[in-house]
Amino acid sequence: MTKLHVQTAGENGPRVIMIQGTGVAGCGWSPQVEALQDRYQLAWFDNRGIGKSPGKPTTLHAMAKDVEEVLEHLGWADAHVVGHSLGGVIAQAFAIHAPQRVLSLACLCTFLEGRAAVALDFSRVWIQVRTLIGTSEMRRKAFFQLVSAPNVACTIENIEKLEHVFGRRLEALPSVAMKQVRILAGAGFAEALKELDVPSLVLSATEDKVAPVQQGQALAEALRARFVELSGGHAVPVQNAKGVNEVLDTFWQNCS
């Protein structure tokens, strides 16, 4: 039985497993759960060292095995797999590891090459530095600006809405987050993805400062996937949940 913290919702419809990104527990999927649980069987979990799951991340292969462990725990032979950011890279690794268990692959705001997450673009580096220095409130606002589109006002109300979904203050990154980033930075499955034969979707956000649209386009090309670009930032599954949910619902229905 898995030691990972796993949650489920929905009793009918296709099975979907959802994988979160750096520093965010499975509760980050709550906007999708609330909207889609009446039509799908949904499962999500906390990655190692995040939320209520013990341990710490080691390699992407181990993270992919964690997904398989969760499926075994649920008694699911297969599922639609969706991941956000690092979760999208874990989803890629799992699809390569066990393609027979992947009904479809959906990668949101993620990367073909993990090193793009730490690329030395001045504007991105500066805002990332601001999430690590200064007062708690300064770092909190900087993190919000990093993951939000510029047209989303950096107000306490908007910050608290995002924190409610994340289940923590924005600046309070779990201690394993930097380990997750280092693992992500070494990721890259371009050649293996070209051999993958599963229905695939890649969704990018136009104003994403973490996972640039170009990475999503390159990933979609490698996967021969449908590519969708929505207005928003890295937190688009929360801040434009309606748009993301409609894209996922349409994709999964077309895969059935």
Residue ranges in the chain whose pLDDT is less than 50: 120, 122, 126
Distances (CA, A) of 112 to 123, 168, 238: 21, 29, 22
**Structural domain includes residue 96:** yes
Name the residue range of residue 77's domain.
6-255
Q: Is the Cβ–Cβ distance between 90 and 60 less than 8 Å? A: yes
CA 254 from chain center: how many Å? 22
- Nearest residue to 200 via CA among 110, 113, 107: 107
Q: Is the Cβ–Cβ distance between 59 and 67 less than 8 Å? A: no
**Structural domain includes residue 215:** yes
What pLDDT, on a 0 to 100 scale, did the predictor assign at position 118? Answer: 72
- Which helix (H) or strand (E) segment is 229 a member of? strand 226-230
Domain count for the chain, please give it.
1
Please classify residue 58 by burial: count the beta carbons closer than 10 Å to its beta carbon, then call 0-12 exposed, 13-18 middle and 19+ buried. Answer: exposed
Through-space distance between the first and last CA atoms of the chain, rounded to whole angstroms: 29
- Sign of the CA dihedral 156, 159, 165, 171? negative
**Structural domain includes residue 1:** no
Q: Is the Cβ–Cβ distance between 49 and 24 less than 8 Å? A: no
| Residue 196 tokens, joined | 């993958």
What pLDDT, on a 0 to 100 scale, did the predictor assign at position 33? Answer: 98
What pLDDT, on a 0 to 100 scale, did the predictor assign at position 126? Answer: 47
**Structural domain includes residue 43:** yes
Find the CATH number of the domain harbouring 170. Answer: 3.40.50.1820
pTM: 0.94
**Structural domain includes residue 107:** yes
> What angle separates helix 136-147 from helix 122-130, to the nearest 10 degrees?
140
CB atoms within 10 A of CB 146: 18
